[in-house]
Amino acid sequence: MNKRTIFIALLTASILASGIPTTAAAAPINFTTSIKSSLDKTIAAAESSQADKINSLYDELLMLQKQSQDLDVEIKALHTRNQETSASLSKEIQQIDADNLDKLESEVTQTREQYKALFSHYSSLNKQIEAARMLKNKDLNSMLRFQVNILKIPVQLARINISTKENEWRAAKDLAAKKKKEIRGSLEDIAPVNLEIKSKRSSIKTIETDVTPVWNTFKQAAKKSEPLSVLDTLASLISLTHQINEEKQAILNLENKIGDILSIAKAQMP
């Protein structure tokens, strides 16, 4: 596996690991018909001020749950868009100057092939000179050296031509590699953002764990028509849901940051 393939794999894994939607581990707050019925009975049995407060807190909790769901949708949409942009950008990075590099490589190959017969003939003459020298055949040696001298300039020009083509190809490859390195350098900024997202997701899971016992206490309080306990647990659920939403908003902001990093990298494409 070459460095380019490794980079693409790491980049893809990095994007996939970031901002995974949290809906799969949603807080266990679900106002079923049975729970809502118990809550209505508690409200009916409560004092007027308590009933109004319970209704107000209930409405606020529903609003926060709706905000939480909306944030999940936004996070998922933005995460998906970042994935698609990352995949597209990875392919584009691979193709930087690809057409020009292919053209220059082809020119090098063609140029080498063009002079192959010349170099072969030149090499053959030099071998024959060596053989003539060993045979001490001065006339043959002289004739062969004359032919070699005639070919020296064409051979030298051919080597210069090939060297020029190779240098052009090498310079183009170096330039393409430099461009790719700069863009990949920009994309490296995604890694610390992913770590932040991972931390936020962990915080959400911790808060959701705290929600479970409070929610269970709320259900029992509603079932027993205990307005004060219902008020306390609703207030706690609201506070916890607020915290979850703040973390989700932070994840959304971080996904936007990844989107900005990808946009900067894309703008660096030649």
Stretch 68-73: mean pLDDT, rounded? 96
Query: For residues 180 and 103, what is the distance between their CA atoms, to the nearest angstrom?
Result: 19
* Cα end-to-end distance, the chain, whole Å: 26
pLDDT for the residue 179: 94
Average pLDDT over residues 76-83: 96
* 2 domain-assigned: no
pLDDT of residue 132: 63
Residue 113 belongs to a domain: yes
Higher pLDDT, 10 or 249: 249
Task: State the average pLDDT for the chain.
Answer: 88
Percent over 70 (pLDDT), the chain: 88
pLDDT at 5 (0 to 100): 45
Alpha-carbon distance of 74 to 252, in angstroms, equals 7
Instruction: Tell me the mean pLDDT in the region 240-250.
Output: 97
Whether 225 is in a domain gets the answer yes
pLDDT of residue 135: 65
Domain annotation covers residue 38: yes
Quote the percentage of the chain above a pLDDT of 90.
Answer: 77
Is the pLDDT confidence value at 213 over 70?
yes
pLDDT at residue 224 is higher than 70: yes
**Predicted confidence (pLDDT) at residue 14 exceeds the cutoff of 60:** no
Domain range for 248: 33-75+98-267
Predicted confidence (pLDDT) per residue in 151-184, tens digit: 899 999 999 999 999 999 999 999 999 999 999 9
pLDDT at residue 26 tops 70: no
Listed residue (242, 226, 186) closest to 68, CA to CA: 242
CA nearest 181: which of 261, 101, 265?
Answer: 265
- At 96-123, the pLDDT tens digits run 999 999 999 999 999 999 999 998 988 8
CA distance 104 to 122: 26
Residue 19 belongs to some domain of the structure: no
Nearest to 15 by CA among 258, 269, 266: 258
Q: Which long-range contacts (CB under 8 A, 24 or more apart) does 28-31 make?
A: 28/208, 28/211, 28/212, 28/215, 29/61, 29/65, 29/211, 29/215, 29/237, 29/241, 31/62
Q: Which residue has the higher pLDDT, 128 or 112?
A: 112
pTM: 0.78
Which two structure tokens, joined as six digits, stand for 2? 């070459």
Q: Is residue 7 in a domain?
A: no
Question: Residue 164, Cβ neighbours under 10 Å: how many?
Answer: 13
Q: What's the mean pLDDT in 42-70?
A: 96
Query: Which pLDDT does position 265 carry in this prediction?
Result: 95
- State the total domains in the chain: 1
Asked if residue 81 is part of any domain, the answer here is no
In a domain, 149, yes or no: yes
More confident call, 143 vs 260? 260
Residue 145 has pLDDT above 70, yes or no: yes
